[in-house]
Amino acid sequence: MTGRETAMDARDTDLKKELDATLQTRRELGEEYESALVDSFLEKVDQRIDSAVERRVRRRLAEQQMATARGTRSPGSADSWGERFGFGIVSLILAIPLSAVCGAFAGFAGVVTTWIGVVGVNFVQAARSNPELLPGPRRRSVRDDD
């Protein structure tokens, strides 16, 4: 058993103990406290999930920084799926208030212009990550010569 598996088993054991304590408390206090007890337990589970996600994100960022520092990945190389997805989500979230403001000042033409801009920004981001989306001559790579 590795150290990581041992740590995961310890966390699972702690969570099981928390659940057992919550159930025991519910038996002692009765049904009128059930909602509060469930909410408390779910909050603890959420905190554990959040801390696990945070650890993974920090580790991934540290790995990327190390790879960039070593020169194995150039800063302008293709982004990960998560970065592209996040960019798309943020641009759509920002498009909603922009549409409202432009619609209020310029009417339908403002809304259309806003969405053309949103689509354009997302297309540029996609083309930056995937140059094959753009028409025209392609640069030959070493693989093309084989």
For residues 7 and 66, state if they share a domain.
yes
Residue 49 inside a domain? The answer is: yes
**Structurally, how many domains does the chain consist of?**
2
Closest by CA to 87, choosing from 51, 53, 129, is 129
pLDDT given at position 104: 87
In this predicted model, what pLDDT tens digit does every residue of 82-138 receive, in sequence order?
777 888 888 888 888 888 888 888 889 888 988 898 888 888 888 877 777 777 665
Residues across the chain? 146
Listed residue (73, 4, 12, 87) closest to 48, CA to CA: 12
Q: Which of 50, 70, 90 is the last residue of a domain?
A: 70
Q: Last residue of some domain: 47, 70, 93?
A: 70
Residue with tokens 């928390």: 18
Please name the residue that has the structure tokens 């520092």. Answer: 69
| CA proximity to 98, closest of 110, 86, 85 | 110
In tens, the pLDDT along 32-81 reads: 888 888 888 888 888 888 888 899 999 999 988 888 887 754 444 555 77
Give residue 33's domain range: 3-70
Tokens, residue 127: 């083309």
> DSSP E strands: which ranges in the chain?
none
- Domain boundary residue, one of 51, 70, 89: 70
Q: What is the DSSP letter of 76?
A: T
- What are all long-range contacts of 42-51, with beta carbons under 8 Å and residues at least 24 apart? 44/15, 44/18, 45/15, 48/11, 48/15
